[in-house]
Structure 1
Amino acid sequence: MSTQERSLKTYKATIVALAAAVVVLLAVIAQMASSRGATAAPAQATATATVTVTATPDGAGAAPAPEPTTRPSLSDEEIAEQERFLLETLPKRQADDPLAKGAVDAKVVLTEWADYRCPFCSVWAEETLPQLAKFIDDGTLRIEFRDLAIFGDESIKAATAARAAGNQGKYFEFQHALFAALPNQGHPDIEDAVVMGIVEELGLDAAKFQTDWADPALEEAVMADSAEAGAMGVSSTPSFVIGTQFISGAQPLEVFEQIIAEQAAQRG
């Protein structure tokens, strides 16, 4: 059984549990976000603090403080339960996960949901992600990528191409090259020539890549990731969970650095 197939079975097994937990989860995320200096909360949490974040193509993004609104009262036990979900269930921490980088036992896991046709996802991947390498290198941070294909078939096409590269151990190299090749504006189409040019540039086995790219299991895995995001109320890209903290949008590097440091300190 391939890594992608194992991941897909894991995704399917967790979708029902995720859907059942989503209402309380979103409320807890927003409550914790408000009390700990959050940058944003999911828009779906209508009974919680809501923030609109405006990111610009150069990667700058406003990080306004949440505006207090009516929130459900949650017990310490409920908050602790949802923190356990964010810390123990959401992160996969699989050693052979091609969509992850960093130590399996890192103090902090950053889960990212992105679409390859999202210009702000491209900006974040090109400008912010490389700056987080210091946290990965010292064992503090692990990054786990998940697809959220919201811009149609071309988004799925790009996501499956990246996974096909991941089958040859080059997921993030392909991701970086594809984002760099696409304009950071609009929702560009994914040209076969661009994809195969990256395959050649990375020295991948082109025949294996094309076979894997056409494998329906990869599209199923992309759709499973997207369904998981939907079950959690995550509907925009890029979105992130860092430890117990939710972030919406391509926020400035300093926001990520601060939250990673805070979450690492909380984990001891």
Structure 2
Amino acid sequence: MQLLHNKVVFLTGGTEGIGYECAQAYHKAGARVAIISHKEDSLQQCRERFFNDNLLYILADVSCADDVQRAIEETIATFGGIDVIHNNAGVSNPSKTLCDTTDAEWQKVFDVNVKGIYHTTKYGIAALKESKGVILNTGSMVGEIGQELHAAYTATKGAVNALTKSMALDYAPLGIRVNAVAPAGVWTPMLRRWSSQQPNAEHIEHYLNEIHPLGYCPEGDVVADACVFLVSEQARFITGCILPVSGGAELGYRRYIEKGEEENKEVVPAGLNGKAV
């Protein structure tokens, strides 16, 4: 039997990158999936290439309480309940230090990455109580190890990690499990945009391969496979877990160095928060 046969998954940020890979993986595992996005064009494009009766597309902004409440209600009205809430929606901008981040930029990244979880849980908890369901948050390895020029983003991902553990304790008596996945680099549209913003953009693909000891920067399907496991009965005794899906990026010391002149000083990157010297 499929791992998620007849389960209902409420997935935010499900039209691109890791979210899109998760939507496909959940559907393949037998789930009915409500795919939430705040971008109408992205929602439409996804609908055109990936559509059937077990998929529901909803235009909603997770930072807006009314939008989330409406999306939860529409999902329940369509599918009869909710078994899984996967909080995947997120933004990574701005690519700045703390002092260079504006108040508006700071507020936006927290409203999406952290307050979005508050909204989905607040309006979805009754359905999860009934189903004894699962909450899954998409975190990031940088929430533990930091990252240069991403102060606001890393702060939100650190908050997601702590929030996941507190939620796991709060909702365990209700039979609700709460976990998070923590990728390092993953090739997504957001990461490609990030890559183009970096001062050493010409070296970024090599950099992203090298920060993973397994030797490559993966596509989102590796994260999606881990997500299917965590929301399934296979993980029924796992809660409060921040699962690295990182190819070992958090292991050991990895610093930028430069090879000698004879090798044209090729930059060898060193970690999610390394910098060229």
TM-score (norm 1): 0.28
Determine which structure has more spread, i.e. the larger CA radius of gyration.
2
Q: From the two aligned structures, give the one with the greater helix fraction.
A: 1
| Larger relative contact order (CA 8 Å, sep ≥ 6) | 1
Q: From the two aligned structures, give the one with the greater strand fraction.
A: 2
TM-score (norm 2): 0.28
